[in-house]
Amino acid sequence: MLIAPIPTNEKERLESLNQYNLLDTAPEIEYDRVSHIASQLCQTPIAMVSLIDQDRQWVKSVHGLTVSTIPRELSLCAHTITNEFPLVIEDTTKDTRFWDNPAVTGQPFIIFYVGIPLLSSEGLAIGSICVIDHYPRQLASSQQLALQALADQVMLLMQLRRTNNQLSRARTEAVELAHQKAHLLATLSHEIRTPLHALEGYTQLLIDEQPHLDQQHSVQRLQTTGRTLVQLVNNILDYSKLQAGKLTLERMPFSLREIIQQAVDMQSWQAKQKSVQLITKIDPKLPARLTGDATRLLQVVLNLLSNAIKFTQEGEVRIQATILDETFSKVTVKIDVSDTGIGIPEASLALLFNEYTQVSTATARLYGGSGLGLAITRQLLELMGSQLTVDSQEGKGSTFSFALSLAVVADAPTGLPASLAADGLFLAVDDNAINTKILSRLIAKHGGQVAVFNSPLDALESAKRVPYRGMLLDLYMPEMDGYELAQCLQEVQPGVPLVALSADDSLETLDRVKATGFQFFLRKPFLPHELVNLLAQLA
């Protein structure tokens, strides 16, 4: 039996592990769900999520086995963390490293093993997610891709735990520390949203590969969980910007009908779990395209829908869009989100939109939540020139309403313009291969053509030979960042539209993007329709 070597960065690895404060914590349903889904997707009897400490493998969650710790010298997962790539062992009895390991020759009889390292935000392997079987076998490429997506999901949970701990400490500080908190959140923006973008991308790739019927439900749950995390992260980070007065609204064409339907789709699983009926009613005269900040409007609708479903045990949640006034160039739309839930006592209405405030401590214990959602929703709507109102009766339900005046986009495109689909060749540059794969598939799916590069230098050489209709550039790359690449590309192809891609949407970043000469900015993680709408603007 070969004992796993100690990584050369062991000291830094252990320091990174300890920063998450997860060792020896109680079981949590979010991690247990990941193990269960891993077992289902890979069709193995055993799956576990574990961390490698100084002298042990500590199991955070496990499916199909009862175990809490394993000596490091006997751990197969200790081998997994020695590099950043998956460890695949189709038959341990034929592998000289493991054939005489007690876990192979005796319980739990590990014959087949696949481990995916859990990489911290510093790129250090601190643990693994693994699946185990008692017989020699293989995993399909789609199953290994799903396991990688689940590893990203675990790191998102850990990163959110780490971030929430930091936020809790920051919130107890005095007012003079407010600026430091805002800076901390801005710094975390890139670290959190980048793996979220990877999770959304992996999930979309899984869906594109048309998984088996018995796997579709698990993949849909994975996508719903990832998008719920995006909603939570956006709330936290936007709250910081609102407090600092640094949040600016975008003005881009969008479909309000698509925004509402997307929000309903993202919340449908939660509603289904509670047997709550989701009803949508949209004025048939609603214009196809309007102008505004689609991302923040989606955030507003998601917050209201999420709250309505959370506080409704049975009955229905209804979202309605009604035209109040319309001219050739502008439309005023009223959005109502109604529920048949617990309602709000009249005495609590005045405090409803305060930060960190809930109707009662009993409500907070029963339903959870940070108490930030409605406060952020109100402030976002105020930036849009609207007001959030509530009409509620305790025990009967609530209706939250707001009205927006939005410019109408004339002759709105319904997808990629024909000229763009036929003649437009795009350039996409991102050092992350999965990101370029996502971009390539999305653009091709809507009739466009794209040349993708993981190396900025290779992209620059290509631009010297090939004319491009538009260029999508990641801002943070090792060889050459997106800002420098944009300047070089403008010299090679003057006037070509440039799109900046980044998880960091701080005011400083947006100012630098504009100063560099980018015409557009797309925040990661983005959804397919957001990319398509942006590309339509390049026509």
Q: At which of 110, 134, 160 does a domain end?
A: 160
Report yes or no on 60 lying in a domain.
yes
Report yes or no on 3 lying in a domain.
no
Decide if 333 contacts 404 (C-beta within 8 A): yes
Max mean pLDDT range (159-168, 407-416, 512-521): 512-521
Q: At which of 244, 276, 292 does a domain end?
A: 244
Report yes or no on 495 lying in a domain.
yes
pLDDT in the model for residue 366: 44
Q: Is 269 in the same domain as 344?
A: yes
Report yes or no on 497 lying in a domain.
yes
Q: Is 237 in the same domain as 272?
A: no
Helix 141-171 × helix 29-42 angle, to 10° = 170
Q: Is 39 in the same domain as 122?
A: yes
Report yes or no on 193 lying in a domain.
yes
Q: Is 258 in the same domain as 404?
A: yes
Q: Is 399 in the same domain as 431?
A: no
**Full residue range of the structural domain in which residue 279 is found:** 252-408
Reported pTM: 0.52
Q: Is 381 in the same domain as 321?
A: yes
Decide if 235 contacts 376 (C-beta within 8 A): yes
Report yes or no on 170 lying in a domain.
no
Cβ count near 246 (within 10 Å): 14
C-alpha 92/C-alpha 109 separation (Å) is: 10
What confidence tens digit (pLDDT) does each residue in 60-111 have? 999 999 999 999 999 999 999 998 899 999 999 999 999 999 999 999 999 9
Domain total of the chain: 4
Q: Report the alpha-carbon angle 82-85-86, nearest 5.
A: 100
Report yes or no on 348 lying in a domain.
yes
Q: Is 44 in the same domain as 129?
A: yes
Mean pLDDT of 175-204: 66
Q: Is 428 in the same domain as 403?
A: no
Q: Is 450 in the same domain as 379?
A: no
Q: At which of 390, 408, 426 does a domain end?
A: 408
**Residue 109 sits in a domain of what CATH number?**
3.30.450.40
Q: Is 335 in the same domain as 481?
A: no
Confidence label for 507 from pLDDT (cuts 50, 70 and 90): confident
Q: Is 397 in the same domain as 423?
A: no
pLDDT in the model for residue 486: 96
299 three-class SS? helix
508 has pLDDT over 90: no
Confidence label for 422 from pLDDT (cuts 50, 70 and 90): low
Q: Write b or e for each residue in 324-363: b if 16 or more Cβ atoms lie within 10 A of its Cβ, otherwise e.
A: eeeeeeebebbbbbbbbbbbbeeebeeebeeeeebbeeeb
Report yes or no on 413 lying in a domain.
no
**Residue 272 sits in a domain of what CATH number?**
3.30.565.10
Q: Is 353 in the same domain as 495?
A: no
112 has pLDDT over 60: yes
